[in-house]
Amino acid sequence: MTDVDEIQFTIGPVPAEMAQAWLANSRAIVQAVRHSSTPLHIAAHEDMLDLCELLLDIWSSHAAQHDTFHWSKATERNQLVMLVRQWLEIGELTDDELRALDCTWAPEWTQPFSEALVNGAVDALRQAGPEGEALVARLGASVE
């Protein structure tokens, strides 16, 4: 495996309605983390929250324009690695912290979009060298 600067990140296909619901929920969580007055046990990095919100905007716009969500883009390796690290941090919020933020995880029926996102991240991270492989393991996927 090589350590490349740009890798392909692809999500989908999944129903766009499912993507829109998951993305709206994720936006609420990211904004709540950003503006929380309650201390959280996770590390929230402003620049990575900015990137999360930018991607949520891009993906939401894409989902609103299509019946099926299928998105792909060449992405800088370092940006993807940092994004997944922040995403994993947010994913470690406790149920108590989510309640304090007045948020919940996305509804169960949006799970196929979440899985498509994880699978897309895993596929992209497998192109990102050792740093990517470590994140693949954290995402719960086995590195081939």
In tens, the pLDDT along 93-129 reads: 999 999 999 999 999 999 999 999 999 999 999 988 8
Give pLDDT, residue 62: 98
Is 1 within the bounds of a domain? no
Nearest to 138 by CA among 95, 94, 92, 88: 88
Using 50, 70 and 90 to split pLDDT, how confident is the model at 5?
confident
Tally the C-alpha atoms within 13 A of residue 78's C-alpha that lie toward its C-beta: 1
Mean pLDDT across 45-69:
95
Give pLDDT, residue 11: 97
Is 30 within the bounds of a domain? yes
Distance, CA of 85 to CA of 82 (rounded, Å) = 5
pLDDT surpasses 70 at 143: no
Residue 23 tokens read as: 């993305």
Is 36 within the bounds of a domain? yes
The domain total for the chain is: 1
Angle at 77 between CA 91 and CA 132, to 5 degrees: 55
Is 84 within the bounds of a domain? yes
Give pLDDT, residue 141: 53
Is 144 within the bounds of a domain? no
pLDDT averaged over the chain? 91
Range of the domain at 81: 6-138
Using 50, 70 and 90 to split pLDDT, how confident is the model at 4?
low
Is 85 within the bounds of a domain? yes
Cα end-to-end distance, the chain, whole Å: 11
Cα–Cα distances in angstroms (integers) from residue 139 to residues 8, 115, 121, in the given order: 18, 11, 9
Is 143 within the bounds of a domain? no
Is 95 within the bounds of a domain? yes
Looking up tokens 């994880």 gives 118
